[in-house]
Amino acid sequence: MLREDVTEAIRAAVFEELAAVGFARMSIEGIARRAGVGKTAVYRRWKSKLSLVLDLVGAVAVQGLPAPATGSLHGDVRALLEVASHALRHPVASQVIPDLLVEAVRNPEIAEAIKAALLDGRQGVVAQVVREAVARGELPEGADPDRALDLVVGPLYWRLVVVRTETPQGYLDDLARSAVAALTA
């Protein structure tokens, strides 16, 4: 394997291991086995499983998300929900994120990396959606973007990641309408 291919195989193996056994039980040995490389190939690149995971989480953060800019608060919220729903239904994301959030409680380094990766990007997008809605007069001056994030993403996260029950048809449409009502209450 080329050096870049080895790095990619290790990255893919980490996501698979995280999904299969979780951060606590994951080992460099298991990652190397799954990637089909030797343990030294992993240790040459990352000094520990923590630094490996932090590096991967950081890489996800860089991708970023564009703000939807549909021209209406409802359209923007619906678009945010579509992207979030896609991300939260992804089997790897839906297992790895809650797992790392659990670790974050006990490990400030993971907490910081997760916040940077998952929240800063989303907060930025939601903040822009809120700013544009304020500019159009759909939300009052000084509307709080953190509150908006809670009201838009909270119900969806609860349903898809915590409760994990089937969502009825038209669920995202209903959620977008509800979220706009909540935001403008």
Residues that bind its own copies (CB under 8 A): 20-22, 24-25, 94-95, 98-99, 101-103, 105-106, 119, 144, 146-147, 149-151, 153-159, 161-163, 165, 168, 174-175, 177-185
Nearer to its own copies, 56 or 77 (CB): 77
User: In angstroms, rounded to a whole number, what is the distance separating the alpha carbons of residues 139 and 153?
Assistant: 18
Min CB(26)–its own copies separation in Å = 10
Neighbouring C-beta atoms of residue 23, cutoff 10 Å: 19
Q: Please give the C-alpha separations between residue 81 and each of 19, 32, 113, in angstroms, as whole numbers.
A: 24, 36, 23
* Residue 158 CB, nearest approach to its own copies (Å): 3
Residue 76: alpha-carbon gap to chain centroid: 18
DSSP of 38-79, one letter per residue? Answer: -HHHHHHH-SSHHHHHHHHHHHHHHH-------SSHHHHHHH
Residue type, 140: P
Query: Between 6 and 176, whose beta carbon lies closer to its own copies?
Result: 176
Nearest CB to its own copies, comparing residues 67 and 102: 102
Angle at 86 between CA 14 and CA 138, to 5 degrees: 130
Between CA 180 and CA 138 the distance in angstroms is: 10
Minimum CB separation from its own copies for residue 178, in Å? 4
Query: What is the closest distance, in whole angstroms, from the C-beta atom of residue 51 to its own copies in the complex?
Result: 19
* CB 161 to its own copies: min, Å: 8
Name the residue nearer to its own copies (CB basis): 131 or 177.
177
Nearer to its own copies, 6 or 179 (CB): 179
Give CA–CA dist 101/125, Å, rounded.
Answer: 21
